[in-house]
């Protein structure tokens, strides 16, 4: 990957969700607090892989267009991936944010948005990739864990790392309490990273992401 195209001003964000949408809300709150011009970005649409979720309701309350692409509504996973890519592309995003989007995208989507598709992960990658990162870290007995913001590639949580935040474990932590503290750090870090990428631009050389 090389330098990303110059974003619009403010940058256009499409956010993908699968659940409650708390990361989406953090981005909406940042835009509302600072204004799109000062923050550098605005959410222009929200997509999901299933209907009737709080993430979509948050978008609708904010007056944003929404779309849903369910895997089961398409004959193959590849057809779903192509449809998702088309639905996202219709909103002309500069950046796409996976904010708790629990589906793995495929070749069509990455061909359109590789190097512009951001994901959050509740562990310090490359340790503990996959869907059970918090429990895996806890079971491993680590003393610190955290969250990672990274670009998505064809692997599982394997794309270039943009930023990380650290969370120390406590003696009385269970998976739920630890995950809640990670989410607090994750929301703040996502807001910071998206704003910086949008305002300042970035380059990706191999695995190294640089923001001026």
Burial (CB count within 10 angstroms: exposed 0-12, middle 13-18, buried 19+), residue 113: buried
Q: How many helices (H) and strands (E) does the chain have?
A: 7, 9
Q: Which residue is catalytic, options 34, 74, 121, 140? A: 121
**Cis amide bond preceding 126, omega within 30:** yes
Q: Are 15 and 99 in contact (CB under 8 A)?
A: yes
Identify the H or E element spanning 39.
helix 36-39
**74 classed as catalytic:** no
Catalytically active residues, by annotation? 121
């Amino acid at each position: 990957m090389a330098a990303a195209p110059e974003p619009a001003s403010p940058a256009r964000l499409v956010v993908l969700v699968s659940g409650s949408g708390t990361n989406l809300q953090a981005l909406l709150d940042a835009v509302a607090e600072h204004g799109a011009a000062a923050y550098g970005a605005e959410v222009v649409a929200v997509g999901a892989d299933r209907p009737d979720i709080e993430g979509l309701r948050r978008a609708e309350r904010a007056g944003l267009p929404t779309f849903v692409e369910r895997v089961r509504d398409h004959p193959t996973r590849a057809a779903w991936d192509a449809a998702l890519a088309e639905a996202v592309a219709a909103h002309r995003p500069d950046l796409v944010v996976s904010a708790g989007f629990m589906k793995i995208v495929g070749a069509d989507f990455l061909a359109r948005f590789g190097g512009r598709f951001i994901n959050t992960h509740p562990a310090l990658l490359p340790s503990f990739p996959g869907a059970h990162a918090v429990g895996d870290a806890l079971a491993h007995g680590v003393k610190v864990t955290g969250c990672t913001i990274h670009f998505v590639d064809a692997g599982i949580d394997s794309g270039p790392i943009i930023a990380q935040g650290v969370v120390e474990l406590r003696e009385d932590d269970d998976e739920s309490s630890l995950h809640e503290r990670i989410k607090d750090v994750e929301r703040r870090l996502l807001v910071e990273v998206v704003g910086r990428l949008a305002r300042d631009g970035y380059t990706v050389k191999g695995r190294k992401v640089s923001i001026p």
